[in-house]
């Protein structure tokens, strides 16, 4: 796995010998220009100065450096009247770098390829055998799919600049290792070998819900709607995930605490992690199914619960089946109690509920509100604002692209 440049030279580019303060400022200015070009598209010199707050001379110096690096390109736009000098616009160079995103979910793997402007170039999914829980076959399948993605794009191997992977579970992002996941359990997976086939490719590994909250925060910050204390994303489905986003010094900072596997109650509800009483043991799809059908709570959790089966349980609950209603209410109660602890520790934040489980919110809401109200913090400050956000997979993709392009941008600014 390739890390950020640490030597004196990178692909023929020398690090600047400028004083640390000057160099840091140069990097910040370059990141500001790259960031606004990504957000707004092609911009003129004057627009760059206005949107970044940088002086005209600084914008000139930054655009010269970025053009030399190949990260941006200029285009001339003829004047509407056909007279006078053409208008010069700067834009991120689409072919400068390419980012690959891979979402590892319970029953499938989703692949996507984007250019340096963040435009989607290609996307496909492959079915994962839920009965095969071994790292070897998973890595072989992923290597073959990445080669397929490269072949379909007709790009050379060195064009891949960032390989961004995500999974539910516990990850070590610094070394690209999956420590525990619903997909493979306790078998650790070292994904660094996947990037070795691509000479310029850097690997990143993220918790899936961290990417969801990253995308939500990016959407809201682009509209100047980011809540001052941050926001929470709660993902409901086969697994339960939670991400927190805050703005710090103008940058989105995200964390993904191990919410689904927090101890919620000292009971005998067996979780997929092997412990008892986790939030997920009550609120994950397998926990709801187990309780709805009155299966002993210490029964080994189902590896995968199809959404169609959950829809049947929900329909039964809406038609008055008391055990089905009880199962969803208990799930909501565990979620509400867990959220109350998060808010007590981190302060008041709005909660966005994502994932396939949010279609059952009408059955969960009573339990969620009850669980939240058990906290003194919530009783004093009121219930948090809760919204439902659809198409979680699109959010995961947006989070992948956002973090990948940020990583590439930072590498651009580190070399001269």
With 80 as the cut, is the pLDDT of residue 300 above it?
yes
The answer on pLDDT for 82 being more than 80 is no
**Residue range 339-362: mean pLDDT, rounded:** 96
- pLDDT score for 84: 61
Question: What is the average per-residue pLDDT within 121-129?
Answer: 93
Q: What is the pLDDT of residue 397?
A: 96
Mean pLDDT of 195-220: 95
Architecture of domain 213-390: 2-Layer Sandwich (3.30)
Tell me whether the CATH fold assigned to 9-91 matches the one assigned to 96-211+395-405.
no
Q: How does residue 187 score in pLDDT terms, banded at 50, 70 and 90?
A: confident
pLDDT digits (tens, 9 = 90+) for 221-256: 888 889 999 999 999 999 999 999 999 887 899 999
pLDDT of residue 33: 96
Q: How confident is the model at residue 125, as a pLDDT? A: 96
**Annotation: CATH topology of 9-91:** Arc Repressor Mutant, subunit A (1.10.10)
Look at residue 4 and tell me whether its pLDDT is greater than 70: no
- 7-23: average pLDDT: 43
Whether the predicted pLDDT of 89 surpasses 80: yes
> In the predicted model, is pLDDT for residue 9 greater than 70?
no
Q: Are 409 and 175 in contact (CB under 8 A)?
A: no
Domain boundaries, the chain: 9-91, 96-211+395-405, 213-390
Q: What is the pLDDT of residues 18-68, one digit of tens each?
A: 445 788 999 999 999 999 999 999 999 999 999 999 999 999 999 999 999
pLDDT band at residue 80 using 50, 70 and 90 as cut-offs: low
Instruction: Indicate the average pLDDT of the chain.
Output: 91
* pTM (two decimals): 0.89
The class that CATH gives domain 96-211+395-405 is: alpha beta
Query: Using 50, 70 and 90 to split pLDDT, how confident is the model at 79?
Result: low
Confidence of residue 14 (pLDDT cuts 50, 70, 90): very low
């Amino acid at each position: 796995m390739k890390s950020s440049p640490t030597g004196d030279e990178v692909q023929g580019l020398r690090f600047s010998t400028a004083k640390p303060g000057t160099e840091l400022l140069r990097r910040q200015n370059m990141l500001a220009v790259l960031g606004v070009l990504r957000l707004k598209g092609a911009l003129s010199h004057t627009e760059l100065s206005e949107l970044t707050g940088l002086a005209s001379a600084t914008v000139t110096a930054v655009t010269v450096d970025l053009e030399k690096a190949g990260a941006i390109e200029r285009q001339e736009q003829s004047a509407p009247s056909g007279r006078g000098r053409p208008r010069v616009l700067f834009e991120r160079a689409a072919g400068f770098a390419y980012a690959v995103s891979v979402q590892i979910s319970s029953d499938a793997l989703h692949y996507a390829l984007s250019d340096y402007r963040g435009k989607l170039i290609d996307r496909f999914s492959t079915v994962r055998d839920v009965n095969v829980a071994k790292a070897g076959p998973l890595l072989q399948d992923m290597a073959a799919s990445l080669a397929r993605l490269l072949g379909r794009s007709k790009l050379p191997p060195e064009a891949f600049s960032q390989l961004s992977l995500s999974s539910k579970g516990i990850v070590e992002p610094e070394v690209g290792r999956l420590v525990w996941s619903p997909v493979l359990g306790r078998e650790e997976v070292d994904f660094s070998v996947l990037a070795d086939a691509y000479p310029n490719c850097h690997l990143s590994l993220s918790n899936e819900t961290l990417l969801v909250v990253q995308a939500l925060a990016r959407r809201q910050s682009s509209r100047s709607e980011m809540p001052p204390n941050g926001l929470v994303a709660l993902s409901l489905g086969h697994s339960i995930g939670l991400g927190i986003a805050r703005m710090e010094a103008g940058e989105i900072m995200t964390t993904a605490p191990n919410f689904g596997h927090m101890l919620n109650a000292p009971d005998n509800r067996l979780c997929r992690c092997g412990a008892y009483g986790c939030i997920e043991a009550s609120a994950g799809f397998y926990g709801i199914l187990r309780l709805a059908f009155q299966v002993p709570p210490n029964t080994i959790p189902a590896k995968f619960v199809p959404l169609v089966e959950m829809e049947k349980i929900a329909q039964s609950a809406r038609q008055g089946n008391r055990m089905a209603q009880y199962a969803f209410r208990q799930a909501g109660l565990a979620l509400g109690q867990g959220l109350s602890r998060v808010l007590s520790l981190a302060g008041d934040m709005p909660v966005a509920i994502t994932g396939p489980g949010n279609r059952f919110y009408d059955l969960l809401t009573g339990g969620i509100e009850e669980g939240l109200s058990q906290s003194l913090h919530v009783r004093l400050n009121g219930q948090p604002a809760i919204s439902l956000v659809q198409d979680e997979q699109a959010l995961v993709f947006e989070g992948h692209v956002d973090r990948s392009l940020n990583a590439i941008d930072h590498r651009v600014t580190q070399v001269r």
